[in-house]
Chains A and B, each alone.
Chain A
Amino acid sequence: MTDAAVKQTVVVGVGAVGCRLAAAIRGKPAGHRYLFVDTDSHSLGAHPEEETLLIGAAVCGGRGTGKRPELARRAAVEAEDEIKQALGPASVVVVAAAFGGGTGVGAGPMIARFARELGAEAIVGAVDPFVFESSVRAEYACEALLRAGDQAEAVVRIPCTLLPDNGGDGPGVRFREAFAAAEEHAAEAAVALVQIVSNPGMLRVDFGDLRRVLCEPGGAVIGVGRADGAERVENAIRHACNSSFLDSHRLHAAANIALHVAGGDTLSLKEVEEGARAIRAISGADYLLSVDVRPELSDEVIATVLLSGVSADSEEARPPAELEGPPPPGAFVYEGVNIDVPTFLRRSRGPHARLGGRSSAHRFAR
């Protein structure tokens, strides 16, 4: 891929976690600009060498929002001109923000909107809160996902789980290690996301195709797998699909799948075919395949799987057969919803379910 084909991309870290994530991936996908936005001057001070933008000095006084998204939203609106100026003439803006706090939830979607107003394609990479955080965080995340879906071209949820696959479970696992593993996992997903949206790859997938996959209500979920050696493409796809988050969502229930395979010069056509066959074996849904050759990967293959539309038909959320279909005569239908169907089942099919592991519905399913 030539440099000209790589779109001018700005990665914007919003809030403390978003900035940390942006710092973690800085330089990995080369050739992009990085912008760090926060209401907290101390948080921005941790990135002295980066291009930073303090917003909401009047609203927050250089401090954090205290988990109040509304403050961050106001801060972003106040700083609209500065943000637009800082974004510059980018063609793709990737907003990395944690969707469980204040600044990311409030300012993240607004920055995506400003980017779109400038004519850029805006994608929000939303880092989910941890499972053990309060349900209020999950509510924030749910609300922010819906809002971000309105403001951005697409929303991709970046899992941040402490589950066995990324070393988070078990009695002997230390929190620091699990946390680092989760952070690495999130950074890897963010890198893959930036790569995909900024570099369409050899088997070209344009942004319109990608948007079709990503713009499902509730956003898409990303999983990344790496492998080398024999059957490396298949194994990488399997790792991506078996990352705890995607597994819990039952890949086979997804409505849309996008598969991105990146390998070195040695990547063969047969391997790509086998990878495509592996996806077909897992899911009958329509899938989008893009392939990228990056010489620096040499023997390694990175597979990125993006899923969307998973929650509505996920097996966990599926109500018993007798509860499906049109409401029976005499059922209490309120605002178009059959209230006689158990609430927890209905909600597990709603936007809450799209929060995956940290939604209340999902907690129940577990």
Chain B
Amino acid sequence: MRQSSQLAPAQRILPFSTQAARSSETPKLRLQRAGPPETVAALDIGSSKITCVIAQAEDDLLKVCSLAIEPSRGVERGEVKDLDQVADAARAAVIRAQSEARMPCDRFFVGVAGKDSQGRNSRGSVMVAKENHVITDKHVRQALNAARNISLPSDRQIIDSVPQSFAVDNSAGIRNPTGMTGSRLDAEVYLATESVNCIRNIISCLKAVGCRHEGLLFEPFASAEAVLTEDEKDLGAVQIDIGEGTMDIAVYYAGGPRFTRVLPVGGGHIARDVAVGLGITLDAARELVHARGAAYESILDPHEAKQEFDVPAAEGGEACACSAGKLCFIIESRVGEMLEIARKEIRRAGLNGHGTRVVLTGGTALLKGIAKKAQQVFGTHARIGRPKIYTDHPELCDNPAYATAVGLLVYGVKMRRVVEKEQRHPVVSVAASSYKWLREFFF
């Protein structure tokens, strides 16, 4: 693609990204220049499905051209367990999306969130040495690069970073310091790190598919781009993306992420619980959860809750009778526990009071009553996060199951802007030298 081919390989590899966009550009997706529409593509390798989306970005609009969904195989708890199977499924999704979009596209923004993903806060400083002490974009980028320049174990790598706030001299909590005067600039950055092996596996899959990644993006950040409003990011929100194999938690406050956690528990556990509890097959359990499942008993009609219906049994067994109340009990137990774990994790991070609202997204957010359950567990407002995107695909529109895929597109475009900007005004720094090292490492 035209835009992608303009990027240096190093910048494609490492999404040391988006921070300048967040700090110096308007928060909403906005393309900075008029011109022909550019193509952006995202690949979300999940535990239940692999989603490939190709979209056209033009002015303020992101229009989805094609959507391909393939059942995922070889991915467990967000991590690649069988390269060949994942590559086969991803290849099928990519080919279908390409043919539907009628355009070749071999560079994708790919989501990363395994159970080994970790997040941490970091701080970087730079001295503003000019006579007039005016802070420029260059100072901002230097401070951000310094914050990213942390020592990590050899098996871990930074995959994403988002600025939280800046401080000029003793004045903290600044969103955009460019143009201000001061002698010292500090940047607070939230860094997401992942195990090198996990990243290598994803890159190997892409190679096997025959495409490359334009950027690896941390999925909780991507989902937040799709579903959280700017107000929620400012006032404080807990985003819980419950997929098939993982539950991604992200706490946003004062405009930036403060805490992230990826836990290896998700919607797959709900289906397994139902299969065990009712003695039915896993597929039947999934269908049952999808068709009749509810995560909060109080929303059930008392009469309907008692009415029994037949569910197909596992091989050799008799069809068993189940009521909505019984099914809800199994599901509510699991969902309540997952949300309780999320609440504990947030509390442990010392962020108990920062989430004024809970936003649930991911495929499991489609469960009836899950927002009410979250409201009960967290004791605060809860809503379902539905990605807003212009599309002809009705299944994509407002569907929380595709929050990550849509988020990868939105976040990817933002990242592309940052990379373009950095290309125009390169900063030679330690981070830049690490780009080079990583390029040699992977290619």
- A335 — nearest CB in chain B belongs to which residue? B344
Select one of A135, A332, A344, A363 contacting B273, CB under 8 A. A344
Q: How far is the CB of A28 from chain B (nearest CB, A)?
A: 40
Which one of B29-37, B59-67, B263-271 is at the interface?
B263-271
Q: Are B337 and A342 in contact (CB under 8 A)?
A: no
Q: Are A343 and B326 in contact (CB under 8 A)?
A: no
Q: Are A342 and B276 in contact (CB under 8 A)?
A: yes
Q: How far is the CB of B251 from chain A (nearest CB, A)?
A: 19
When each residue 323-366 of chain A gets 1 if its CB lies under 8 Å from chain B and 0 otherwise, what string results? 10000000010100001101111010000000000001001100
A318 to B272, CA, bound (A): 17
Does A320 touch B at the CB level, under 8 Å? yes
Q: Are B329 and A343 in contact (CB under 8 A)?
A: no
* Inter-chain contacts of B269 with A (CB < 8 A): 339-340, 342
* Inter-chain contacts of B273 with A (CB < 8 A): 342-344
Q: Contacts A332-B265, A339-B265 given; indicate if A344 touches B341 (C-beta within 8 A).
A: no
Q: Contacts A320-B276, A332-B263, A339-B265 given; indicate if A364 touches B326 (C-beta within 8 A).
A: yes
A100 to B431, CA, bound (A): 62
Q: Are A344 and B329 in contact (CB under 8 A)?
A: yes
- A332 — nearest CB in chain B belongs to which residue? B264
Q: Are A342 and B264 in contact (CB under 8 A)?
A: no
Q: How far is the CB of B321 from chain A (nearest CB, A)?
A: 13
- B274 — nearest CB in chain A belongs to which residue? A342
Q: Are B264 and A344 in contact (CB under 8 A)?
A: no
Please report A residues at the B interface, Cβ cutoff 8 Å: 135, 320, 323, 332, 334, 339-340, 342-345, 347, 360, 363-364
Q: Are A342 and B263 in contact (CB under 8 A)?
A: no
Does B73 touch A at the CB level, under 8 Å? no
Q: Contacts A320-B276, A344-B277, A345-B276 given; indicate if A364 touches B329 (C-beta within 8 A).
A: yes
* Inter-chain contacts of B337 with A (CB < 8 A): 339, 343
B177-202 residues at the A interface, CB under 8 angstroms? none
* Inter-chain contacts of A364 with B (CB < 8 A): 277, 326, 329-330
Q: How far is the CB of B77 from chain A (nearest CB, A)?
A: 8
Further pairs besides A339-B341, A343-B336, A364-B326: 12, Cβ < 8 Å? A320-B276, A332-B77, A332-B264, A332-B265, A339-B265, A340-B272, A342-B269, A342-B330, A343-B330, A360-B329, A360-B333, A364-B329
A96 to B1, CA, bound (A): 78
Select one of B263, B265, B333 contacting A344, CB under 8 A. B333
Does B12 touch A at the CB level, under 8 Å? no
- B329 — nearest CB in chain A belongs to which residue? A364
- A364 — nearest CB in chain B belongs to which residue? B329
Does B334 touch A at the CB level, under 8 Å? yes
Q: Contacts A332-B264, A339-B269 given; indicate if A347 touches B333 (C-beta within 8 A).
A: yes
10 closest A-B pairs by beta carbon, nearest first, are A342-B273, A343-B333, A344-B333, A343-B334, A332-B264, A343-B337, A364-B329, A342-B276, A344-B330, A339-B265
* Inter-chain contacts of A334 with B (CB < 8 A): 263, 341
Query: Number of A-B pairs whose CB atoms are under 8 Å?
Result: 46
- B336 — nearest CB in chain A belongs to which residue? A343
A189 to B16, CA, bound (A): 70
A140 to B265, CA, bound (A): 29
Q: How far is the CB of A321 from chain B (nearest CB, A)?
A: 12
Q: How far is the CB of B253 from chain A (nearest CB, A)?
A: 25
Q: What interface size band does chain B fall in?
A: 10 to 19
- B298 — nearest CB in chain A belongs to which residue? A135
- B115 — nearest CB in chain A belongs to which residue? A332
* Inter-chain contacts of B341 with A (CB < 8 A): 334, 339
Q: How far is the CB of B322 from chain A (nearest CB, A)?
A: 11
A323 to B269, CA, bound (A): 14
* Inter-chain contacts of A344 with B (CB < 8 A): 273, 277, 329-330, 333-334
B279-301 residues at the A interface, CB under 8 angstroms? 297
A-B contact pairs, 22 of them (CB 8 A): A135-B297, A320-B276, A332-B77, A332-B115, A332-B263, A332-B265, A334-B263, A339-B337, A339-B341, A340-B272, A342-B269, A342-B272, A342-B273, A342-B276, A342-B330, A342-B334, A343-B330, A343-B334, A344-B333, A360-B329, A360-B333, A364-B329
Interface centre among B77, B273, B277, B333 (most CB of A within 10 A): B333
Interface centre among A340, A344, A345 (most CB of B within 10 A): A344
Interface centre among A135, A347, A364 (most CB of B within 10 A): A364
A363 to B330, CA, bound (A): 11
Q: Contacts A340-B269, A342-B276, A344-B273 given; indicate if A363 touches B333 (C-beta within 8 A).
A: no
Interface centre among B276, B330, B336 (most CB of A within 10 A): B276
* Inter-chain contacts of A339 with B (CB < 8 A): 265, 269, 337, 341
* Inter-chain contacts of B330 with A (CB < 8 A): 342-344, 364
Q: How far is the CB of A143 from chain B (nearest CB, A)?
A: 16
Q: Are B329 and A342 in contact (CB under 8 A)?
A: no
A323 to B341, CA, bound (A): 21
* Inter-chain contacts of B77 with A (CB < 8 A): 332
Q: How far is the CB of B305 from chain A (nearest CB, A)?
A: 11
* Inter-chain contacts of B334 with A (CB < 8 A): 342-344
A344 to B269, CA, bound (A): 12
A342 to B277, CA, bound (A): 8
B73-90 residues at the A interface, CB under 8 angstroms? 77
Q: How far is the CB of A343 from chain B (nearest CB, A)?
A: 4
Select one of A323, A340, A363 contacting B329, CB under 8 A. A363
* Inter-chain contacts of A360 with B (CB < 8 A): 329, 333
A364 to B276, CA, bound (A): 13
B232-287 residues at the A interface, CB under 8 angstroms? 263-265, 269, 272-273, 276-277
A323 to B276, CA, bound (A): 10
Q: How far is the CB of B267 from chain A (nearest CB, A)?
A: 13
A345 to B329, CA, bound (A): 11
B333-358 residues at the A interface, CB under 8 angstroms? 333-334, 336-337, 341
A134 to B115, CA, bound (A): 38
Q: How far is the CB of B284 from chain A (nearest CB, A)?
A: 16
- A344 — nearest CB in chain B belongs to which residue? B333
A45 to B173, CA, bound (A): 63
A334 to B273, CA, bound (A): 17
A342 to B269, CA, bound (A): 8
Q: How far is the CB of A299 from chain B (nearest CB, A)?
A: 46
A342 to B278, CA, bound (A): 12
A234 to B66, CA, bound (A): 76
* Inter-chain contacts of B264 with A (CB < 8 A): 332
A345 to B333, CA, bound (A): 9
A270 to B219, CA, bound (A): 74
Q: How far is the CB of B55 from chain A (nearest CB, A)?
A: 35
A332 to B273, CA, bound (A): 15
A342 to B334, CA, bound (A): 7
Q: How far is the CB of A158 from chain B (nearest CB, A)?
A: 26
